[in-house]
Amino acid sequence: AQSVTQLGSHVSVSEGALVLLRCNYSSSVPPYLFWYVQYPNQGLQLLLKYTSAATLVKGINGFEAEFKKSETSFHLTKPSAHMSDAAEYFCAVSGGDMRFGAGTRLTVKP
């Protein structure tokens, strides 16, 4: 069985600051890992996906995530936050059975 834990239901950063959203996973098989973003009144949109090809995965909008097997982590980062990054972010794991985390709401202060 797979599961994910997102640390922090709410993260607030200043515009231009580093964004770090944490995700830890549990999987009995080599996992596929995803980060999705949800803007207000919209569905989820894929940011990036890890499929074992490379441990550092680059996604859209300047986001990237690093797969660390020893730490069972897949944290999402962006060097410089923009106001438009304010949204809810979901980590998900799939070893054939997709499981989502509870989400982290990112607020960006001007």
Partner 1 sequence: ETGVTQTPRHLVMGMTNKKSLKCEQHLGHNAMYWYKQSAKKPLELMFVYNFKEQTENNSVPSRFSPECPNSSHLFLHLHTLQPEDSALYLCASSPSGTSGIPSTDTQYFGPGTRLTVL
Q: Tell me the β-bridge partners of 108.
A: 13
Q: For partner 1, which is the closer residue by CB, 3 or 80?
A: 3
Query: Applying CB under 8 A, does 95 fall inside the site for partner 1?
Result: yes
Ramachandran class of 25: left when φ > 0, alpha when ψ lies in -120 to 50, beta otherwise:
beta
Residue 11 binds partner 1 (CB under 8 A)? no
Q: Would you count residue 28 as binding partner 1 (CB under 8 A)?
A: no
Q: Cα–Cα distances in Å, from 30 out to 64, 75, 86, 96?
A: 20, 17, 31, 10
Which positions from 70 to 89 touch partner 1 by CB under 8 A, shown as an x/- string? --------------------
